[in-house]
Chain A
Amino acid sequence: MSRGSELTTGPIPVGQFVNLVRNTLRNDKIFQNQVITGEITQWKQYPNGHTYFTLRDSDGQISAVIWKGRCHIDPIIEEGSVVVVIANLDLYAKAGKIQLVVNKIEPVNKLGLLEEQKKLLIEALRNEGLLDRPRMTLPMIPKHIAIITGTGSAALADMNRLIENRWPGLRRTIIGVTVQGENAPNEIVRAILAAGKLSNPTIAMKLDLPPVDLIIVGRGGGAPEDLWAFNLEPVVRAIIASNIPVVSAVGHESDLLVSDLVADIRASTPSNAIERCVPEYDYQQQLSIHFSERLDEATNRLFLDWRNRIQLIQSRLLNAPLKGVYNANQHISNLSSRLSNAVIGKFSNARKKLQFLCNTMQLSMQKSLANETTKLAVIESSLNSAHPRNVLERGYSMITDGTGELVSKTKDLAKGQQVILALSDGSAKATIDEIKKIGENNE
C-alpha cells in the first residue's frame, strides 16, 4: 500500500480501504485453499441454501460460509461436530467481516462418533449385568500394588509422592505404558494382564515378591480424546476380567469414563486413588498400640479382681478358729502374693512380659487355684459344721470358769463356784449347787 503521494489528497473512503484489504487477502496464496480443522458452533442452514457457522477450537475461532451448492454437506454434520474444511479467506466488505469461504467440508467424526460408541458400550455392559456386578473389596493394607500409568508422567510422580507421605516404602510395581494414542488401549490391556500374572502367588514367588493384591490404572487429566483409551472395550473388559481389585483413576473429578463404571473403585484422580487405597502407616501403628494398651489394662483389671477375691477367701480362713486350715491358708497366701507381684508391679506396660507371666501362671497357678477352691469349699463346710455355735444351736451349752477356761469335767468344778454358761444366743451366770460324776450314787 504505497500511496504516500495520495495521502495529501485526502482520506480514503472506508469501503475503498476494506476492498483493498479484501483484494490483498484474496491474492495471498497463504490464505487460499487452506485445510483447516475445528469444531462447529452456531451451525445455521438458511432457506436460501447458504450455510453459516463458526469454526472454533480452544485457541481461536472464525466465521465461515458454505455457499449454496458449493459442496456436499454430510448430513451428520451438526452443532459440535469436528470437521475439516478446505477454504479461502475472504472479507465480506459490507460487514467488514473476515470469513472462510468453504469449498469442501468433511466430518472428522471423532468425538461425536466416539461418544456414540461409548454409549453403545455402556448399554451393552449394562445389559450383561456388568455395571452392577458385585465388586471386590480392597485389601486394608495392600502388600503389593501394581500401578499402570504413563512412564515418567506427572500423575505417577504425584502418586509416588503421596504414597511416600502415607506409607513410606510401600511395595509397588509401576508398569509404564502409553496412555494415549493408538497404542494405548493395547498396552493398557497387556499391563493389566501382566499385573494379573503377578497376582498369582506361584509366579510372584518366583520373582521373590508377594502377589499383587491391587491394581491402580490411570493417568492425569487431558482432552477427552486423550483419555479415550479408558472408554474402549478391550480396556474395560480387561478391568472386568481381573481377579484382583482394580481402581480406575483417570483424569480429573469431572471426567467419567467407562473404566470408572466397571472398576472396583472409581477414584476421581490418580492422587485420590492413593488416598483411598493406601492407609496411613502412623495411624495403623497407633491403632495397634491402642489395642495393646486396652488389652493390658482390661486384663490387669480382671487379675486385680481375682486377687481381691482370693484375699477375701483368705481373710475368711484367717477368721476361722481351726488350726487345720493353716496349710491351705499358707497356700492361698502364696498364690495371692504371686498374683499381686504379677499384676501390680512388674508389667503395667510390658505386654510380652505379661504374656510370659500369664503363661507361667496358666501352667501352675490355674491348676492349684482350682484345687484350692475345691479344698476351700470342703474346709469351709467342715468348719461350719464343727463350729461350737452350731453345737449350741442344737441345745447344748458351753461352761467356762471365771478365768474363761472351758469346763468339761466335774473335777474342775467346786460347790458354790460361779460359772458362765454360753448359749447359742447369749450367756448366763450360774452357781454350782451339786456335783455328780457319772457312775456315782446320788448320795
Chain B
Amino acid sequence: MSEEMNYSKAIERLEEIVQALERGGIPLDETLKLYDEGAKLLDFCQQELASAEGKLNEMRLSDIEMKLSE
C-alpha cells in the first residue's frame, strides 16, 4: 500500500474493487488479487477509524506555548 494512502482514497479504491468483482468475468488469479487488496484496504480503514480515537487535551494558550518551547 502506498504511503499517501488515506481513508477517502481507500474507500474509493474499495468501491472500484467491489464493482469489478460484482461485474465478474475476471480470471481466478485476478479475483484473488483483488480480494486480497480489498481485504487489506478494509484493514487499513479499520485502523484509520481506530486511530482517530485519543484523549482530549485542554490547555490554555500559555501552557501549550510553554510545552512547545520545551
Q: Is the CB of A362 within 8 A of B52?
A: no
Instruction: Report if B59 contacts A (CB, 8 A).
Output: yes
Residue pair A173, B39 in contact (C-beta under 8 Å): no
Interface status of A209 (Cβ within 8 A of chain B)? yes
| Distance (whole angstroms) from the CB of A155 to the closest CB of chain B | 14
Query: When the two chains form their complex, are residues B56 and A174 in contact, meaning their CB atoms are under 8 A apart?
Result: yes
Comparing A54-62, A215-223, A282-290, A317-325, the segment that makes contact with chain B is: A282-290
Residue A176 CB within 8 A of the other chain: yes
- Closest B residue to A178 by CB, please name it: B61
> B residues 1-43 with Cβ under 8 Å of A?
6-8, 11, 14-15, 17-18, 21-22, 24, 26, 28-29, 31-32, 34-36, 38-39, 42
Chain A residues within 8 Å of B61, by CB: 175-177, 187, 190-191, 194
Q: Is A141 an interface residue (CB 8 A)?
A: yes
Query: B65 near A139 (CB under 8 angstroms)?
Result: no
Q: How far, in angstroms, from A303 to B27 measured CA to CA in the complex? A: 10
**Contact code string A151-171 (vs B, CB < 8 Å = 1, else 0):** 100000000100000010111
Contact (Cβ within 8 A) B54 A288: no
Task: Offer 18 A-B interface pairs, CB within 8 angstroms, sorted by A.
Answer: A140-B8, A144-B54, A171-B53, A171-B56, A173-B57, A173-B59, A176-B59, A187-B61, A191-B64, A209-B54, A209-B57, A210-B54, A285-B49, A288-B49, A295-B14, A295-B18, A302-B21, A355-B35
Q: Which residues of A contact B (CB under 8 A)?
A: 139-144, 151, 160, 167, 169-177, 187, 190-191, 194, 197-198, 203, 207, 209-210, 281, 284-285, 287-288, 291-292, 294-295, 298-299, 301-303, 305-306, 351, 354-355, 358-359, 361-362, 366, 369
> Which of A190, A288, A301, A361 has a CB less than 8 Å from the CB of B65?
A190
Query: Which residues of chain A are within 8 angstroms of B49 by Cβ–Cβ distance?
Result: 141, 281, 284-285, 288
**Contacts from B to A (Cβ < 8 Å):** 6-8, 11, 14-15, 17-18, 21-22, 24, 26, 28-29, 31-32, 34-36, 38-39, 42, 45-46, 48-49, 51-61, 64-65, 67-68
Q: Flag if A366 contacts B32 (CB, 8 Å).
A: yes
10 more contacts with CB within 8 A, not counting A295-B21, A362-B29, are: A144-B54, A172-B56, A177-B61, A209-B57, A284-B49, A288-B49, A299-B21, A301-B24, A362-B32, A369-B28
User: How would you classify the secondary structure of chain B's contact residues: helix, strand, loop or mixed?
Assistant: helix
Q: Which residues on the A side are within 8 Å of B28 (C-beta)?
A: 302, 306, 366, 369
Given contact pairs A174-B56, A302-B21, A288 touches B45 in the complex (Cβ within 8 A): yes
- The residue on B at minimum CB distance from A303 is B31
Inter-chain contact B52/A141, CB cutoff 8 Å = yes
Determine if A298 and B18 form an interchain contact, defined as CB atoms under 8 angstroms apart: yes
Q: Is the CB of A140 within 8 A of B6?
A: yes
Q: Are B52 and A361 in contact (CB under 8 A)?
A: no
In the docked arrangement, what's the CA distance between A251 and B41, Å? 40
Question: Which of A143, A197, A301, A369 touches B51 (beta carbons < 8 Å)?
Answer: A143
Shortest CB-to-CB span from A180 to chain B, Å, is 15
Q: Which of B35, B38, B51 counts the most chain A CB atoms within 10 A?
A: B35
B35–A295 CB distance below 8 A: yes
- Residues on A with beta carbons closer than 8 Å to the beta carbon of B38: 291, 295
- Residue ID in chain B nearest A200 by CB atoms: B68
**Which residues from A are CB-within-8-Å of B60?**
151, 175-176
B42 touches A139 (CB 8 A): no
B18 and A358 contact, CB distance less than 8 A: no
C-alpha spacing A306/B7, complex, angstroms:
33
Q: Are A295 and B56 in contact (CB under 8 A)?
A: no
Q: Which B residue's beta carbon lies closest to that of A186?
A: B61
Residues of chain B lying within 8 A (CB to CB) of residue A190: 61, 65
Q: Which residues of B contact A366 (CB under 8 A)?
A: 28-29, 32
Are B48 and A141 neighbours in the complex by a CB distance under 8 Å? yes
Who on chain A is nearest to B56 by CB?
A: A172
Hey, which chain A residues are within 8 Å of B34, CB to CB? 299
A8 CB → nearest B CB, Å: 72
Known contacts A141-B7, A285-B49; is-contact A194 B64 (Cβ 8 Å)? yes
A174–B58 touching, CB < 8 Å: yes
Task: Tell me the complex Cα distance, A141–B53, Å.
Answer: 10
